[in-house]
Amino acid sequence: MARTKAFDKTAVLQRAMKTFGRTGYEGTTLPDLLQELGIARQSLYDTYGTKRDLFIMAVKHYMDGKTEDMAELLEQPGSAIGQLEYIFDVMVQALVDPELAQQCFIISSAVEQAPQDAELRDYLQSNTEQIEQGLYRLLQQAADEGELSAAFDLQELAHFLAHERMGLIFSAKAGANEQQLRSITKIALSVLRSHRA
């Protein structure tokens, strides 16, 4: 009978997100990765495949989780504009948390690898479209409830907000502090106030 693996696959993916987020895909060596994950080389190969395979799994684990969080938020009652502000507030909180920020930064590592990895590029594009659709649904809800002018192109606004959300990650990785991130967010969200019904 096969021996049960003595590690939690989800916990390993969480540590992988942090490791790749901290040092990037290229900067993460296999020995360093094995040490950080606390698993043997053969266990990595048997369970996750190559370093690239683990990287893609970790990226998907992180981004799918964020997409699910947004889907849950869409089901919550309350102001749609308030929910949009909450999305950005939570993101800034994560980016100024040393532990959570390392996981967030896996997105920038994924973007760096996308040009030479078609599977990763297609996944990122698909995930971005899902995020934009989630933001669009919130904007449509805001328009339906009279919080936002329906005359504005909501799809373009959703695209803009998705872009700003991604931009926060790169700003934080480049060294922006909480005050700077909140200033960026304030300006980005001011477009909502300028288009209230």
Predicted pLDDT of residue 50? 92
Give the pLDDT band of residue 87 (cuts 50, 70, 90): very high
Residue 25 has pLDDT above 60, yes or no: yes
Predicted pLDDT of residue 72? 86
Residue 153 has pLDDT above 70, yes or no: yes
Range 182-194 average pLDDT: 89
Domain 60-193, CATH 1.10.357.10 — does that match?
Answer: yes
User: Which residues neighbour 107 within 8 Å (Cβ) at sequence distance 6 or greater?
Assistant: 59, 62, 63, 166, 169
Residue 33 has pLDDT above 70, yes or no: yes
| Percent helix / strand / coil, the chain, rounded to 5 | 80, 0, 20
Residue 1 has pLDDT above 70, yes or no: no
167 in Cβ contact with 181 (< 8 Å): no
Predicted pLDDT of residue 154? 92
- Which two three-digit tokens encode residue 107? 């997105």
Q: Cα–Cα distance between 7 and 158 in angstroms, integer?
A: 40
Range 19-47 average pLDDT: 91
Q: Which of 3-17, 50-64, 84-98 has the lowest mean pLDDT?
A: 3-17
Q: Cα–Cα distance between 14 and 43 in angstroms, integer?
A: 16
Residue 6 has pLDDT above 60, yes or no: no
pLDDT (tens digit, 9 = 90+) per residue, 88-145? Answer: 999 999 999 999 999 999 999 999 999 999 999 999 999 999 999 999 999 999 999 8
Q: Which helix (H) or strand (E) holds 85?
A: helix 80-95
Predicted pLDDT of residue 4? 44
Give the pLDDT band of residue 196 (cuts 50, 70, 90): low
Give the pLDDT band of residue 10 (cuts 50, 70, 90): confident
Between the alpha carbon of residue 18 and those of residues 28, 62, 68, 85, 183, the distances in Å are 11, 10, 20, 26, 26
Kindly write down the DSSP assignment for every residue of 67-79, as one continuous string.
HHHHHHHHTS-S-
